[in-house]
Structure 1
Amino acid sequence: MREHLKLFSLIFSYPDEDKLGKAIALAEGIGLTEIAQTLKQVDIEALQVEYTSLFISSHPSVPCPPYQSYFEEGSVYGKASLRAAELYSKYGLNYVYESEPPDHISVELEFLSMNPELLSDFRDWFLEFAKCVEEKSEIYATFARAFRKFLEKPSKVQS
């Protein structure tokens, strides 16, 4: 389970060559061959363009903002962002804002890869996010579908 969470954290963060290589290796290691194949076949620039238009900047609005506060409150930097930072702190992590607020999906997934027993607290908004991405993306739909299937499986915490 931890590897799955780490993989989806990499996939839903801004793509670069390093993250792409790590994601391919992780996907192959846990048997998610469809994801590995898609990542191998897609051009990094096409992945970056799709990521940007899907999650960062698009006209007239961003189709699937990757923030818990957006899905729960309709805006970014809301209460969910504060709750996420407080949760990280409770578990001994001092989250320093660099490029993403604490409720960005990749940040939350990275945290959950270290604390998978908390996944159920995030599952509902993750499922909404995955559905949005499946409906509004071409390349990322493959990843969102795999993410949704992972979330819908009966969970049992594994190392």
Structure 2
Amino acid sequence: MLWGACRAAVGVAAVVALVGGCSSTVEGEAVRPAGNDGLFDPCTAIPDDVISSLGVDVSTEENGVLGVRQAEFEICTWMGNWYQLGVWSTFHTLDDVRRNPEDTDIQDVPEIGDGAITFREGADVDGDLCFAALPVKQGAIFVRIDAKYQVRHEEDICGLAIKDMIALREYLPK
């Protein structure tokens, strides 16, 4: 399970990096709540039976990365036979993803919903990682599929991310 946590930590760093290049000074007061206040929490909001129906083991649920909650993200992960499923909630937007040079192979996916995309991380040279992302009022929800290292993919990981995002839609914020 350590492989998934390490890759998740790298993924958090990559997604957090997309914010660094987007900051600027603005007068007035911020409207975003401090920390994770107001973020959708996938660990508490998505029923266990729904998670189980996606083919992962609910007893492997982990909140955060290595059990540590992350600033500006709510992350919940579960293990399957050959991959880890993660549902990430953030204030960051899909425009942030599009501007991040580390996020590659960005594809529009209208079957998920308006503005939805899939993308990969440039550092993932083995093709073991794919995100499906949906814009929501708070920012975005990501479904992350992270294949276990050197384990045969039983299906296309971006296809699986899309399928899981569609299955989770009714439990996600608008």
Q: Work out whether the TM-score is over 0.5.
A: no
| TM-score, normalised by the number of residues in structure 2 | 0.29
Bigger share in helix? 1
Bigger share in strand? 2
| TM-score, normalised by the number of residues in structure 1 | 0.31
